[in-house]
């Protein structure tokens, strides 16, 4: 299959990443089936796409017509069979749990056309382990976007043990068609390139606060202004989702060892369901002023 043969893309999961990936695909001219497990989740994802497109239009990064056309290309769907029956490419962005993702792939395999490529937006999990529950592990790879997808340029394209080179080439072409810059990750390893580097940084920042070395504000001031990151470490944890950072660390600890043990400061936030921007509160309070207001 060539990238020109891709007309319809299913995005499974309408959350933080899924809705953003669907938006990027629709902006690139693809028909998009945005699927989640209930009406509320899928409608919420659709509403977020509408919000984001309006923002881009407000800032003259898109015309109103382009924003309307992109939204028209997104069809919200709950039924999985209907969502994937006639698609050419599937991007899965469901919660970062191996068993949840594998269950989705088992069901997906029953309904997706034989030619469709499966790409997972996992942040860290093994592409190989996910691919092996399907009957098409050679047609399976990682396609890892960054949050927020509409603003972030990079896409990691990750090979599983069984992935065909043509599938990696196709996925890179697709990323380029979406206006992104793909980077190939040749070996399936926890966290791939970016999260292997980035998430331990977030964890170390949390340990500094845990050990009373500095406050959240002080850590964020140095990471933002001195290291040169676009956001402080805690702002970034709120942006990506503290639960996502935790899940990546937990998986990396299991595979790579205790150097990746999630800091209790992160664990407490996950237990309190204060997960960052998406829940309105994480390390900062987004209901009352965002990154200027500690939670």
Q: Which is nearer to ligand 3HC, 17 or 112 (CB)?
A: 17
Concerning whether 288 is annotated as a catalytic residue, the answer is no
Nearer residue to ligand 3HC within complex by CB, 55 or 187:
55
Closest distance to ligand 3HC from the beta carbon of 129 (Å): 17
Active-site residue, from 23, 92, 156, 235: 156
Specify burial of residue 107 (Cβ count, 10 A radius: 0-12, 13-18, 19+): middle
| Choice between 87 and 155, CB closer to ligand 3HC | 155
Tokens 């990682």 -> residue:
142
Q: Taking every pair of C-alpha atoms in the chain, what is the biggest distance, in angstroms?
A: 56
- To the query of whether residue 210 is one of the catalytic residues in this protein, the response is no
Strands 284-285 and 290-294: antiparallel
Q: Which residues bind ligand 3HC (CB under 6 A)?
A: 20, 52, 55-56, 123, 146-148, 150-152, 195, 198, 230-231, 236, 239-240, 244
* Residue listed under structure tokens 């500690």: 294
156 carries an active-site annotation: yes
The closest of 163, 151, 159, 148 to 183, measured between CA atoms, is 159
What's the min distance (Å) between Cβ of 160 and ligand 3HC? 17
Which residues, listed in sequence order, are joined to residue 142 by a DSSP beta bridge? 120, 158
CB of 208 to ligand 3HC, least distance (A): 19
- Minimum Å gap between C-beta 43 and ligand 3HC is 17
Tell me, yes or no, if 189 is annotated catalytic: no
Catalytic residue among 16, 52, 121, 123: 123
Beta bridge partners of residue 11, listed in sequence order: 34, 91
Tally Cβ neighbours within 10 Å of residue 59: 8
Counting Cβ atoms within 10 Å, is residue 165 exposed (0-12), middle (13-18) or buried (19+)?
exposed
Q: What CA–CA distance (Å, rounded) separates 62 from 90?
A: 26
Decide whether 4 or 59 has the Cβ nearer to ligand 3HC: 59
Q: State the nearest-atom distance from the C-beta of 154 to ligand 3HC, in Å.
A: 8
Closer Cβ to ligand 3HC, 85 or 279, answer by number: 279
Would you name the residues annotated as active-site residues?
123, 144, 156, 195
């Amino acid at each position: 299959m060539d990238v020109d043969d891709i007309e319809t893309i299913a995005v499974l999961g309408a959350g933080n990443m899924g809705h953003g990936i669907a938006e990027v695909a629709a902006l690139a001219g693809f028909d998009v089936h945005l699927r989640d497990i209930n009406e509320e989740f899928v409608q919420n994802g659709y509403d977020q796409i509408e919000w984001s497109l309006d923002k881009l239009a407000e800032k003259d990064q898109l015309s109103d017509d382009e924003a309307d056309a992109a939204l028209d290309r997104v069809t919200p769907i709950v039924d999985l069979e209907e969502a994937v029956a006639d698609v050419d490419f599937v991007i899965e962005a469901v919660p970062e749990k191996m068993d949840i993702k594998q269950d989705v792939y088992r069901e997906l395999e029953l309904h997706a056309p034989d030619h469709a490529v499966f790409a997972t937006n996992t942040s860290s999990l093994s592409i190989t382990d996910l691919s092996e529950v399907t009957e098409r592990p050679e047609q399976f790879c990682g396609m890892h976007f960054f949050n927020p997808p509409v603003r972030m340029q990079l896409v990691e394209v990750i090979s599983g043990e069984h992935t065909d080179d043509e599938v990696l080439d196709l996925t890179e072409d697709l990323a380029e068609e979406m206006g992104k810059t793909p980077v190939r990750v040749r070996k399936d390893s926890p966290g791939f390139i970016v999260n292997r580097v980035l998430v331990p940084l977030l964890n170390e920042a949390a340990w500094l606060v845990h050990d009373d070395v500095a406050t959240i504000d002080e850590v964020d001031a140095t990471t933002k202004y001195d290291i040169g990151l676009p956001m402080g470490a805690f702002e970034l944890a709120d942006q990506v989702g503290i639960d996502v950072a935790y899940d990546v660390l937990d998986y990396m600890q299991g595979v790579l060892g205790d150097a990746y043990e999630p800091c209790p400061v992160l664990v407490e936030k996950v237990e309190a369901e204060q997960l960052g921007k998406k829940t309105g509160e994480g390390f900062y309070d987004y209901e009352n002023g965002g990154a200027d207001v500690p939670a």
